Chain A
């Protein structure tokens, strides 16, 4: 067992875990943050995306111990003080979700994608969003409304 300390959604946590524990397992099983989903465990689907120190990370393909001292944000910590993040709101407004399973990772990826675009002065259009979300699979929506949602969310962010 190894001790790991992180800030998760603004709260400091310390746990003794097996060194082989994945970050996704740590969040889901140790902290009960089940909004982070596991859809493939091979880094392909993006259901498990969280933010580590502000960057999106596929938590199914990272060991929790790698992030000792890091600050992690999951979907549960995305909204502030009980209000939704504009990207969450945009997904709801644009029917960017159906079963909801890919949705949390999709939103986390989208927030990072938009943030990066804004930092780099990239125009957030359909092409940019489709290319940028290539690492997130949705089987329900056909992406049509996800793309709409991300563009709308970007405007509101």
Chain B
């Protein structure tokens, strides 16, 4: 059993079904008499809906119904909500415009849902959708977050200047005072490019209203089916919560984009009652580009005040954040509590002030995408730090070392609300320098130069806050939910274990990791543990998977449930072994009387609990324990990433030569899975830095709406990675000592890449560093040099 326990790279339980094609994703599910939905989407970024003529569509073969925002309004349905109330500097609440599940009288971005056609077959639904005639009154659009304030475009009624909120954090007075004293100030202006998450499985939904039971079932591509159930019942109002089951079966990647509650899944469920048939919708890829929540899209100015030795004195930041046309489920907390609270980074900067203006634009909603706020913070801090090093003529490793929060300063209260419980940053830096062979870089650079290539090296020392989240803390900051997690451990007569978790796995391998954990804790066979998730009718409640929370919060709930099993088991063992409960010790699956060889296996104890012929009087039969866990703090993984790359000055092509990632994730349950998570995060971060960009033109058309136009990282764009997880500092406030690893790669890597690009070409360019941009930047420097 030890080989399958905590700390071993157990092969994944879930893999057999995936490698044989027997996974069960939402679009794989076929219900009897299922019909198909096709959405009529707005071709305009901003327009009034003057009229919708559906008569031609309704007359087409196979059409079961055509529905619009008028029916939604007539049915008295509510809209989609943003679950986090952020307040402006003046204390006023953020301004949330209505977000109907089908647009009502107005469309606000290209792809906005105007109507739905339900038909017998998908082709019939598509054909009929084309026959729905919508007359639009086209309005001017605001697209660019830096310009929306003064655009004169009113995206929502009564929301002046499209300003959602104007928020701040930190001590402005202290920060300004430190700047006044500074020997040197380094300043950067940065754009954090807009991204499309692009899980490979497009979003899909299958809604089913059961007339006889007056009950609803929704199969959907969700990272948090319970939150979907809550929002669809409490806010959209389609079905009462106890009559709604939400099932997120196998989900093909999420990266944040499947956290949110979307119009399409609501519409499928609602329309299913209208046509009395199950209704299925699956996005095609262009629909996904248009209507999945996007990520990032910040414009920032940041300044660092330093003394003469490059010690950081204060950091001042202004950020404008693009929220898109509607506030998506968690959108408001991303550029605030998940962003600006991370601006301390790994540094002991004494004063920090940040203000953030969040704006509506006529673009798709923007919400969490892998890292969610923390990549934006890290990109800003680590770009600025590298520029500070340059200005102060310090080695980039040295300036970081000088400013690191020292090991003995933990727990460390940052000036931006968070308290880091633990960390030790220098060992990660040292290990990264060693693995990257930093000492050998000058020689490698000479070799590149000899070949006519430009070589650069770049650093990034990231911190993140994950294990989201302590409910009381986030509640005081405006969150509408608690972010505890639930777990249930259920034994059957034969000693087999079912684990029910409120987290959701869409690639992370919970079925393996959680089984390892339970096997280790309870001394049962790994093979005998089955992990169930993603079905609200099985797991009663849960908060889902995002913010690298599944193990740190959901895993800890599972530990608590196991503890309850052990506690109950001790009572039963004491009875069976005729000993006092206090004398029973539990180890490796056996309850024994301390100091004797008398013991009962957990299997025998469970059997006694389910066949209680000889049983402690008054004790409930059965062995099924539930626990909830609400974390005391966030967890704080950290690490140092070093990117080394080569630029071809003739073509502008950037080729990564070596990418070194050293992380402190605290304790690790399955190193193989953790490394895999880092690899995937790195690919997304490198994608952001070199390839990916969601581009709207001035009229609000998304001109990167397919894989022909939006550059996804492919196998030949990336190197193999050098990934190392340090022994690390165990999280101090969960018993597992775990921190979370799902987002680190995407958080830490973009600045490392961009710092390396800047180092290679001698000038800083914006992400993504495409060959064209790199080449133009080089031409410009050469022209400037020639003119000198």
Contact = CB atoms under 8 A, between A and B. Distances in A.
Contacts of B708: 42, 44
A93 interface: yes
Interface stretch (A51-59, A61-69, A114-122, A128-136): A128-136
Given A76-B21, A88-B20, A99 B706 contact: no
A91 B714 contact: no
B131 to A, nearest CB: 17
B200 A142 contact: no
Q: Tell me the interface secondary structure of chain A in the complex.
A: loop
B200 A98 contact: no
A92 B22 CA distance: 14
Contact of B200 (A47, A84, A95): A47
Contacts of A38: 27, 202
A12 interface: no
A139 B253 contact: yes
A144 interface: yes
- Which has the most chain A C-beta neighbours within 10 Å: B199, B201, B202, B715? B715
Interface residues of B, number: 56
Contacts of A71: none
Interface string B448-476: 00000000000000000000000000000
B253 A98 contact: yes
Given A20-B123, A92-B16, A130-B715, A39 B21 contact: no
Given A37-B25, A99-B201, A143 B718 contact: yes
A107 B285 contact: no
B19 A140 contact: no
B682 A142 contact: yes
B212 to A, nearest CB: 27
Interface stretch (B324-332, B485-493, B506-514, B539-547): B506-514
Nearest to A150: B715
B29 to A, nearest CB: 9
Interface stretch (B293-301, B359-367, B584-592, B673-681): B673-681
A88 B19 contact: yes
Contacts of B721: 142, 144
Contacts of A126: 720
Nearest to B723: A144
A155 B718 CA distance: 23
Interface in B115-132: 123
Interface string B709-753: 000111110101100000000000000000000000100000000
B352 to A, nearest CB: 33
A100 B21 CA distance: 9
B36 to A, nearest CB: 11
Nearest to A102: B200
B323 to A, nearest CB: 24
B18 A100 contact: yes
Contacts of B676: 95, 98, 140-141, 145
A101 B21 contact: no
A18 interface: yes
Interface stretch (B7-15, B172-180, B310-318): B7-15
Contacts of B673: 95
A7 B715 CA distance: 32
B19 A39 contact: no
Contacts of A34: 21, 24-25, 27-28
Interface string A1-35: 00000000000000000101000000011001111
Contacts of B198: 139
A137 interface: yes
A100 to B, nearest CB: 3
